[in-house]
Structure 1
Amino acid sequence: MFRTVEFGNEEAGPFYLQHIRRPGAFERTQHVHELYELYYLYEGQRLYFVKDRSYQVLPGDLVLINRREVHGVSDFGTPGHERVVMNFSREFVAAMMEEAPFLLDGFAQPTPIVRLDLPPRREAEELLARMIREAETARLGQTLALRSLLGELLLFTARFVRTHRVPVPEHVSPIHRKISDIVRHLNVHYADTVRLNDLAAQFGISPPYLSRMFKEITGFSLVEYVQLVRVREAQRLLETTNDKVIAVAEQVGFGSLVQFGRVFRQLAKTTPLRYRQTARGKV
């Protein structure tokens, strides 16, 4: 059985909810965006790659993804799963945060995985069920109701992480740990020239195996991941410095302004100059 409930519209602003049950395999999805993401798994198993490592996600797990964090999810174990995912902007909860600035505490934890035991799991699922019911049918005050319920869920999460030890899960396997080490290396040395053979020799792994497992675990090819990290750092520099675009391109490791512009447009869906103007409120 395939079931889906979705909510998201211009009136609501940057807020999206989807509840879905899939009986079989589903292709990996991976991305980076400006919104917070909250994912809850009811049934099945998933493999989540977040920031610099992979995690096995089990029923009863909340996954909390901060803004601009690389993340992707894929099948793990027997295909088939049921989950709910929400994306929302800081602006969507800004009014609530004026009174409760701790609402997003769950997104600042050392691990994005919050594993709920039975009593809090029931509480979380009751909140999610109310949100899903509210999202099913358009009616008066729907956006207000969903914002209020999201606030309750974020409050539940903030309270949980303040009152419970949230351990960092073990790596799924040694190769997952190795790929995590490589990702952390790339996150620091993204501006250097990255060669597959050099990286493989440095981490004691054959180039073909490194290439294959990097793609399988992260969802990105090595080149795609390096470009993503470079563009993400370029966005930060465009927002926070007055450096010329060509200087930004050089700082993050692009060999030419043409290549930088092409890759930036592909990933950010705009030009570097337009991105800077928008980020500074000049458009």
Structure 2
Amino acid sequence: MSLSPLTRTIEYGSEEDGPFYLQHIRRPGPFERTQHMHEMFELYYLYEGQRLYFVRDRSYHVLPGDLVLIPQREAHSVSDYGKPGHERVVMNFSGAFLGGMLEEAPYLLDAYGLPSPIVRLDAGGRREAEELLGRMIREAEQDRLGREFALRGLLGELLLFIVRFARTHRVAAPEHVSPLHGKISDIVRYLNARYAEPVRLDELAEQFDISGPYLSRMFKEITGFSLIEYVQLMRVREAQRLLETTNEKVIAVAEHVGFGSLVQFGRVFRQLTKTTPLRYRQAAQGKRK
């Protein structure tokens, strides 16, 4: 495979209308792993190459023709796999960007609730998906009348295609890349269920019959996050939910999700969300009015 570099990026939108981001990129060589969690839905399509994607609680070997669908606030990371070099398109969008389409067709986001975040397209599905993605990329490149309207419509078409494909084809999680990836997945699920409890590396290693240093190193290599980074992400995600849906005091929320002090909670929350817990709650309440 011989790839020439290419980057196309468009990002715009507002809090009221909803943000939208599209990037089509072709990289001929290795690329550093990226990891994050954000408020928007993510849609990723791989044209060429191979990637290793960690989503939710396990890693996936992503191949050409694979769609990766990541819901809001889902920790995820992506890294090189096999021979360096790949071509992909990634989109991030909010529900607000789709506007009234979700009222008429709430099933447009159903694919984000599938058992597997990987939708492996057949030859016909690839042709249809790539035709829609090509139209989106060409539309995004041209600053002309109705661009946002057109992109919103094309995104709706793409999401509808994915939902229809998922309803007529078996969408199952691929096998684990290796037994070690399976064990790390078991550990992630364990942490997802017990994020509010103290995390002790020696106890975790003993429970899963693996040495502490090796567990720590492989967890970071496979997920993209250190143990403490991952646990803090899960704690902050639950804190966001509680701040949005309850009237619990901030200190009570901090204790509920496992932070030892309000100061630590505020520092980590701000680091991951770029705002304070109180401001986050105020903004969430404002959106509901």
Do Structure 1 and Structure 2 share a fold, with TM-score over 0.5? yes
Normalised by the length of structure 2, the TM-score is 0.96
Q: After TM superposition, list the pairs within 5 Å mapping 1:162-241 onto structure 2.
A: 162-241=167-246
Unmatched tracts of structure 1, length 5 or more: none
1:276 aligns with 2:284: no
Q: Paired residues, what number?
A: 283
Could you give the per-residue CA deviations for residues 179-209 of structure 1, whole angstroms, max 9, x where no partner exists? 1111111111111110111100010000111
SS of the residue aligned with 1:215?
Answer: helix
Distance in 2 between the 1:266 and 1:6 partners? 26
1:67 aligns with 2:94: no
Distance in 2 between the 1:245 and 1:96 partners? 35
Q: CA deviation at 1:94?
A: 2.7
SS of the residue aligned with 1:184?
Answer: helix
Q: Which amino acid aligns with 1:147?
A: R
Which residue in 2 is equivalent to 1:254?
A: 259
Which residue in 2 is equivalent to 1:78?
A: 83
Structure 1 moving runs of 4+ over 3 Å: 10-13
Question: Pick from 6, 26, 30: which aligns with 1:3?
Answer: 6
Could you give the per-residue CA deviations for residues 107-140 of structure 1, whole angstroms, max 9, x where no partner exists? 1100000000101110110111111111112111
Distance in 2 between the 1:156 and 1:2 partners? 29
SS of the residue aligned with 2:107?
Answer: coil
Q: CA deviation at 1:10?
A: 3.2
Which residue in 2 is equivalent to 1:90?
A: 95
Distance in 2 between the 1:56 and 1:132 partners? 25
> RMSD of aligned C-alpha atoms?
1.2
SS of the residue aligned with 1:8?
Answer: strand
1:20 aligns with 2:25: yes
Question: Pick from 56, 71, 81: which aligns with 2:61?
Answer: 56
Which residue in 1 is equivalent to 2:111?
A: 106
1:245 aligns with 2:259: no
Which residue in 1 is equivalent to 2:127?
A: 122
Distance in 1 between the 2:267 and 2:112 partners? 32
1:149 aligns with 2:154: yes
Could you give the per-residue CA deviations for residues 2-31 of structure 1, whole angstroms, max 9, x where no partner exists? 101111123673111000000000011111
Normalised by the length of structure 1, the TM-score is 0.98
Percent sequence identity over aligned pairs: 75
Q: CA deviation at 1:229?
A: 0.8
Could you give the per-residue CA deviations for residues 48-85 of structure 1, whole angstroms, max 9, x where no partner exists? 00011000000000011111111111001111000000
Unmatched tracts of structure 2, length 5 or more: none
Q: CA deviation at 1:98?
A: 1.8
Q: CA deviation at 1:105?
A: 1.3
Distance in 1 between the 2:92 and 2:171 partners? 22
Distance in 1 between the 2:239 and 2:212 partners? 28
Q: Which amino acid aligns with 2:13?
A: E
Q: Which amino acid aligns with 1:206?
A: S
Q: CA deviation at 1:91?
A: 0.7
